[in-house]
Amino acid sequence: YLTKAADQTNLESYVIGGFVRDFFLNRKKKDIDIDVVAVGSGIELAKKTAQLLPHQPKVQVFKNYGTAMLKAFDIEIEFVGARKESYAENSRNPEVEQGSLEDDQNRRDFTINALALQLNQDHFGKLLDPFNGLEDLQQKLIKTPLAPSLTYSDDPLRMMRAIRFAAQLNFKIENESLAAIESNSQRLKIVSKERLISEFNKIMLTEKPSKGIKLMHKTQLLGLLLPELTQLQGIDEVDGQTHKDNFWHTLEVVDNISKETNNLWLRWAALLHDIGKAPTKKFSKRNGWTFHGHEYIGAKMVFKLFKRLKMPLNDKMKYVQKLVLLSSRPIAIVDEEVTDSAVRRLIFDAGNHLDDLMILCEADITTKNPKRFKRYHNN
């Protein structure tokens, strides 16, 4: 249908971006999105495609952006006109004008996302790959088409995307890009929280989330997004006594739990399970290093963190809070006289999530004896 539409409208048209990348990687996905770029009007191509499709779907037109979208056979197809973008020195918003396919490929984030396959019958399947994206796919490399600092400062979300793709595809980010991410890291502040969290959650859902989180740490992005975590880093020593580095420990717990569950929020609970330890850390001659009450403080910090990052303060947040509160010392907590009624309520309906709590305790390699807690609870 796309080919027919391209020929009938006489528009040079291509499939581009993620679909082409995943096609060459032979990567199967649940939801298929296709990005189509027309040299000329993407909206016209979308309307023609809709006309030709048997069910003649509705076309959503975004006139301001010159783009259109339709759904066919459960596939979302987005149409754009090839664009040339230039950023005026004193403006954050790009000036957009019509361009060639190559102009459009130039403004894309990574070489592996700039591959285009032609749709028109006469050249059907012809690959246009001006930046050797195919080679980078084979070499497993994340590289930008233009100078990295330009690509990242134009659109700072791409710093998170680079790390997300490296984590999802198990690729390496080329050194020049890594350096550019680090030097542009402060620009992350201008990106909306929702978009940042959406990328971060994709990292959290990879097989080994520590890979992406370590890259965020190395490039300074982690401290900007989740300072609660980076504050856990480091080991203090007084009188020859030390404590474990709770940052690196946390990454281990997140990887451990990711082997057991794809539940994003249980993975978040693992990520945040020790955050109360930075503000509660104390040393005394008698007791050595202690983190008294860190689970209560941690649960409060979960609320603040969700709020700051504009994540919904719904039952997911409460679930994470509850697990953070209970994960550290499940036995002691239940044994203790707890007077705070809000905390008591959280403890007594832990039963709803008992299995998840057990998975977390077992992933937290330092928690002693989670099975005893289960027995206790059952009794």
* DSSP one-letter code for 192: -
Q: How many CA atoms lie within 13 A of 144 on its CB side?
A: 25
Q: How far is the CB of 146 from ligand CTP (least distance, A)?
A: 11
Give every CB contact of residue 264 below 8 A, 6+ residues apart in sequence: 201, 204, 205
- What is the sign, positive or negative, of the torsion defined by CA atoms of 321, 166, 96, 183? positive
33 binds ligand CTP (CB under 6 A): yes
Among 11, 13, 17, 181, binds ligand CTP (CB under 6 A): 17
What is the rounded CA–CA span in Å between residue 23 and residue 18?
8
Q: How far is the CB of 17 from ligand CTP (least distance, A)?
A: 3
What is the rounded CA–CA span in Å between residue 113 and residue 111?
5
Nearer residue to ligand CTP within complex by CB, 76 or 97: 76
Q: How far is the CB of 211 from ligand CTP (least distance, A)?
A: 16
Nearer residue to ligand CTP within complex by CB, 17 or 148: 17
Q: How far is the CB of 33 from ligand CTP (least distance, A)?
A: 6
263: which 2 tokens?
């539940």
DSSP-derived 3-state class of residue 150 = helix
127: phi then psi, degrees, rounded to nearest 5: -90, 125
Nearer residue to ligand CTP within complex by CB, 108 or 273: 108
Among 104, 109, 136, 174, binds ligand CTP (CB under 6 A): 109
267: which 2 tokens?
């993975």
Nearer residue to ligand CTP within complex by CB, 155 or 364: 155
Q: How far is the CB of 50 from ligand CTP (least distance, A)?
A: 21
What is the C-alpha R_g of the chain?
25
Nearer residue to ligand CTP within complex by CB, 25 or 238: 25
Site for ligand CTP in 113-142 (CB under 6 A): 113
Q: How far is the CB of 281 from ligand CTP (least distance, A)?
A: 39
DSSP-derived 3-state class of residue 304 = helix
Interaxial angle between packed helices 354-363 and 246-260, expressed in degrees from 0 to 180 and rounded to the nearest 10? 130
Nearer residue to ligand CTP within complex by CB, 113 or 367: 113
Site for ligand CTP in 149-168 (CB under 6 A): 155, 157-158, 161
- Report the residue closest to ligand CTP, judged by CB: 18
What is the rounded CA–CA span in Å between residue 158 and residue 140?
18
Among 47, 48, 83, 108, binds ligand CTP (CB under 6 A): 108
Contacts with ligand CTP by CB under 6 A lie at: 17-18, 33, 35, 108-109, 113, 155, 157-158, 161
